[in-house]
Chain A
């Protein structure tokens, strides 16, 4: 796969990546439900779900194309018909209409799938989509977790007409992309990334890598906060500030104690003192 020469810049939003991984996770867990406790038939330990071929999921990506920049904002799922090796066209059209109503600017930019590498059959789907978009993009997510790999396992392919053996053919070529986020997106993606439980191998790969990085970031920020200078003047100022903080804590605790004490005394006086101070007409005990 050669790299793209079309000169288009691709911008991918993390929402798309999350959607794809979510789709894949769902399908996979529905296909191989986790073994239940009393699922053993003859006393044999219930084996984990047989590692069948991971299912491929398909869907459509939508976004905006402005000049030379293609920005992929969102995605939705599609059904794949293995018989005809094509995607459910009617469904696609209906979904596209619905999305048009909410996001009038978004166009179908291409499609996505999961797998380790692009396959020949993908070309069929690609060509089928070419009537909506003359140059669709193919977003491929590799769901297998590779801890050694630091980058996201997402690749974007474009189709180009190359002459191979005298026959002009459409082949997939790599396209470079950047991740683009809006602030709100970043927060929610971060949130989701931390919430997702990793049950065996079904966790989306991007969960693990940001987690590790964030831990490392925390450690490094902690290290940076330690005092770096050792001069005498620094000691003085440092200790003074430290003492100030301690004094403030002490003051806060004193205030807290005083207020509890105040309440306690009020209660005590109400309960045990024969003549209440607030002028209430309580009978003598």
Chain B
């Protein structure tokens, strides 16, 4: 079609400098409708446009091309095209058409899932994430999709590398929920329970006006991971959790809370019985694996509690206290824990005694200095950001109006510099 060829020539001509690209962007926006209506002719056009140099134009055409339902065979042909585009596109240009890029990536993910090989999508998605981010602290809408692909293809390590970044900017709240939820699951898969707890905690305490399903699922996992990692769980949420969460989450997760209370009693038999009775519920939530880990973690926590009471203990006694079958099992558990670095002990095999030791870390080494120094640097950046946010909050009109209205009440425990009216 004439107009299409025109467009192609324009794309090829105007992809040089920044002003040209802005001009091209306007043209493309206007031509978007016509592109969508002619989706059949677009495949030929795609070959004429180079994805690396003319990324913006290619993006628009590609987006129009891939709109609409797609069958499995079509998906097979589309996936390599999309992957190639993502890998070689120009980051500057695509950031101009943010939404289009996001929708293209989402469709890519759908196609990859359709052909049931999520592994093919992991690497291109990672490149896409890095290209769309303005800084490494920015959470884009395609982050959760990337993590989903990682989860489905079990490539946890790549997911972890993206999770290491601290996030300060978020595009949309839903992204944060999904990102932290998937991230938590990846960390559980890698047995990094502390980081999983952090991420799930974020989901549960994120600001929300009404409770959402992601938070409920996250809360269930949160309870389980908290039991595995800390050996205890408290049902009170911190005060920065939204009031919607605080009131309603517990109602949806009743079986898990009871699991936690049974856990705190310290008796393995009871715990196992409880798990058996509620097996179906856990299975429906796909949390059965986690629950089994909870049960096995009980032994670990009991042994850890022993280190605080005894200096030396025989393997037989350990087995009895922790309700393990035999001293051999006890030895296995203790050995495993020493290897994981969870306790410090020595086993004397001759008389079957275990001697519990102190943490040998003397904080004397240069590595420790570097470690602490880097932590201090991190916390300084954090502190600066917090102060900036605090200031911003103080100017927020919503906050100021509410504070103004509350001034009638004279609270003794929040005596601040704002003058208050004394009730006579």
The verdict on B202 contacting chain A, using a C-beta distance below 8 Å, is no
A 255-285 binary contact with B (CB < 8 Å = 1; else 0):
0110011011101111111111110101101
- Chain A's interface: helix, strand, loop or mixed, by majority? helix
Identity of the chain B residue whose Cβ is nearest the Cβ of A259 in the assembled complex: B386
The verdict on B342 contacting chain A, using a C-beta distance below 8 Å, is no
Contact of A243 among B372, B375, B396, B403 (CB under 8 A): B372
B 381-420 binary contact with A (CB < 8 Å = 1; else 0):
0110011011001101011001101100101001000000
Q: In the complex, which residues 84-134 of chain A have their Cβ closer than 8 Å to any Cβ of chain B?
A: none
Contact A267 B393 (CB under 8 A): yes
Q: In the complex, which residues 341-395 of chain B have their Cβ closer than 8 Å to any Cβ of chain A?
A: 362-366, 368-369, 372-373, 375-376, 379-380, 382-383, 386-387, 389-390, 393-394
Please, which residues of chain B bring their CB within 8 A of the CB of A240? Answer: 362-364
A 234-246 binary contact with B (CB < 8 Å = 1; else 0):
0010011011101
The verdict on B207 contacting chain A, using a C-beta distance below 8 Å, is yes
The verdict on A3 contacting chain B, using a C-beta distance below 8 Å, is no
Please, which residues of chain A bring their CB within 8 A of the CB of B390? Answer: 260, 263-264, 267
Contact A249 B369 (CB under 8 A): no
A250-B375, A253-B376 are contacts. A273–B363 as well, Cβ < 8 Å?
no
Contact of B386 among A236, A243, A264, A269 (CB under 8 A): A264
Contact B243 A274 (CB under 8 A): yes
A263-B390, A275-B243 are contacts. A247–B372 as well, Cβ < 8 Å?
yes
Q: In the complex, which residues 213-257 of chain A have their Cβ closer than 8 Å to any Cβ of chain B?
A: 236, 239-240, 242-244, 246-247, 249-250, 253-254, 256-257
Identity of the chain B residue whose Cβ is nearest the Cβ of A265 in the assembled complex: B240
Identity of the chain A residue whose Cβ is nearest the Cβ of B391 in the assembled complex: A264
Contact B372 A271 (CB under 8 A): no
- Chain B's interface: helix, strand, loop or mixed, by majority? helix
CA distance A283 to B403 in the complex (A): 12
A264-B393, A267-B390, A275-B243 are contacts. A247–B363 as well, Cβ < 8 Å?
yes
Please, which residues of chain B bring their CB within 8 A of the CB of A239? Answer: 364-366, 368-369
A243-B364, A257-B383, A282-B402 are contacts. A271–B393 as well, Cβ < 8 Å?
yes
The verdict on B236 contacting chain A, using a C-beta distance below 8 Å, is no
Number of A-B contacts (CB under 8 A): 92
Please, which residues of chain A bring their CB within 8 A of the CB of B421? Answer: none
Q: In the complex, which residues 91-109 of chain B have their Cβ closer than 8 Å to any Cβ of chain A?
A: none
B239 to nearest A CB, angstroms?
A: 7
Query: Which bucket holds chain B's interface residue count?
Result: 35 or more
Contact B239 A250 (CB under 8 A): no
Identity of the chain B residue whose Cβ is nearest the Cβ of A253 in the assembled complex: B379
The verdict on B284 contacting chain A, using a C-beta distance below 8 Å, is no
A258 to nearest B CB, angstroms?
A: 10
Contact B382 A257 (CB under 8 A): yes
Q: In the complex, which residues 8-64 of chain B have their Cβ closer than 8 Å to any Cβ of chain A?
A: none
CA distance A269 to B399 in the complex (A): 9
The verdict on B254 contacting chain A, using a C-beta distance below 8 Å, is no
Contact of B403 among A261, A270, A277 (CB under 8 A): A270
A249-B376, A265-B240 are contacts. A256–B383 as well, Cβ < 8 Å?
yes
20 contacts between A and B (CB under 8 A): A236-B364, A239-B365, A240-B364, A242-B369, A243-B368, A244-B363, A246-B376, A253-B379, A253-B383, A257-B382, A260-B386, A261-B386, A267-B396, A269-B240, A270-B406, A274-B243, A278-B414, A280-B406, A282-B405, A282-B406
| Contacts A264-B393, A267-B390 known; 16 new A-B pairs at CB < 8 A | A243-B368, A247-B363, A253-B380, A256-B383, A260-B383, A260-B390, A267-B399, A268-B207, A268-B399, A271-B398, A271-B402, A274-B209, A276-B402, A277-B239, A282-B406, A283-B405
